[in-house]
């Protein structure tokens, strides 16, 4: 038997014994070492995704572990191999898939939301979603690869180049990772954040931070860029005010990257978009190349994993871990799911 954390609806999580699922042909069973809690998991707890989550549901998708068992026909993997997953299961037949955009499949199964996830000691998944890990990469650090892949995809979509100036609005976990990846690309990065604690975390990572409530941000960005404005703005906060501000910060032909999920329509200064020939770019999840780059960034220390992981807690304490993340003060909390290290 193993342990599994389940979302029961009504802001309730419970941990109980579960029986490991033997892998069918083409599947593998993973001993899960760590699972990170992300913003999507918090949305699930709040009931915002009850239309997709089948209660009771084991959620979670930011994970690392080792292969425990191989199903029939699985090749190229071995028991004991360290792995993470790219938790996307696409149909292969819809218009998006047919043109190669499988990550935004019209019928995408996001594993850990639409189907069973990794907040459990034993997890059985299709072998096709496995991503092998370097043997020398600590498994707690490897649990950051999925959110790092999000940041890599966002920066890749922005076409950010070395020497350009990027502004990141919002210093939550994804915002910090985007800023870190952008810096690794050779860009100058400014992070806007209202919350003093999050600003301090960003500053502690060596990032330039600004309190947008205390200064004229547009003027400051112009001063930093020789009156040109930012080449790219990443909107990661999800606030209406940030969307209105973002276009004011951009240079001619600047790119606005919409990272945050906005659940309602927002006002956008379309005259500014017209006047400066701005671009607005949507971003969603990641592709395989983003994972490979994320692994390199984490392995080589460009992502400061130890500073981003606030704490590691036992799976049995999952409810308290979610409460702590909601309260603020933590960047990334990992659940110790008990799998082989």
The residues annotated as belonging to the active site are: 40, 43
Question: Can you tell me the distance from the alpha carbon of 133 to that of 338, in angstroms, rounded to the nearest whole number?
Answer: 18
DSSP SS3 for 167: strand
Cα–Cα distance, 229 to 185 (Å, whole number): 19
Q: How far apart are CA 246 and CA 248, in angstroms?
A: 5
Taken in order 120, 125, 129, 135, the sign of the CA dihedral is positive
3-class secondary-structure state, position 53: coil
Evaluate the omega torsion of the peptide bond into residue 137 and state whether it is cis, within 30 degrees of 0: no
DSSP string of 93-134, one letter each residue: -SHHHHTT-GGG-TT-EEBTTTB--SSBSEEEEEGGGEEE--
According to DSSP, residue 310 is labeled E
Q: Which residues of 229-255 are buried (b: 16+ CB within 10 A; e: fewer)?
A: bbbbbbbbbbbeebbebbbbbbbeebb
Shortest CA distance to 61 belongs to which of 30, 91, 35?
35
How far CA 6 is from CA of 11, 29, 163, 237, in Å, comes to: 11, 19, 46, 28
């Amino acid at each position: 038997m193993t342990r599994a954390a389940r979302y029961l609806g009504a802001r309730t999580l419970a941990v109980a014994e579960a029986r490991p699922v033997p892998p069918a042909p083409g599947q593998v069973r993973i001993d899960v070492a760590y699972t990170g809690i992300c913003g999507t998991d918090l949305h699930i707890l709040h009931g915002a995704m009850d239309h997709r989550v089948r209660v009771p549901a084991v959620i979670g998708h930011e994970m690392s572990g080792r292969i425990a068992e191989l199903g029939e026909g699985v090749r190229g993997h071995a028991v004991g191999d360290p792995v993470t997953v790219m938790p996307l299961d696409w149909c292969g037949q819809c218009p998006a898939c047919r043109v190669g955009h499988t990550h935004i499949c019209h019928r995408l199964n996001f594993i850990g939301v639409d189907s069973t996830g990794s907040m459990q000691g034993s997890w059985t998944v299709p072998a096709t979603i496995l991503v092998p890990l370097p043997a020398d990469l600590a498994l707690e650090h490897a649990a950051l690869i999925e959110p790092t892949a999000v940041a890599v995809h966002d920066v890749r979509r922005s076409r950010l180049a070395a020497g350009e100036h990027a502004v990141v609005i919002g210093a939550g976990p994804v915002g910090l990772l985007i800023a870190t990846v952008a810096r690794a690309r050779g860009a100058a990065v400014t992070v806007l954040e209202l919350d003093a604690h999050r600003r301090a975390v960003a500053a502690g990572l060596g990032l330039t931070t600004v309190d947008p409530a205390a200064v004229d941000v547009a003027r400051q960005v112009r001063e930093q860029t020789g009156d040109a404005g930012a080449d790219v703005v990443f909107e990661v906060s999800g606030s209406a005010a940030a969307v209105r501000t973002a276009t004011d910060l951009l240079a001619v032909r600047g790119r606005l990257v919409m990272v945050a999920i906005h659940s309602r329509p927002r006002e956008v200064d379309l005259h500014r978009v017209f006047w400066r020939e701005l671009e607005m770019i949507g971003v969603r999840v990641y592709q395989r190349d983003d994972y490979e780059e994320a692994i390199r960034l984490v392995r080589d220390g460009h992502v400061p994993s130890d500073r981003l992981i606030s704490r590691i807690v036992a799976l049995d304490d999952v409810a308290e871990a979610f409460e702590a993340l909601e309260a603020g003060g933590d960047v990334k909390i990992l659940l110790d799911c008990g799998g082989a290290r």
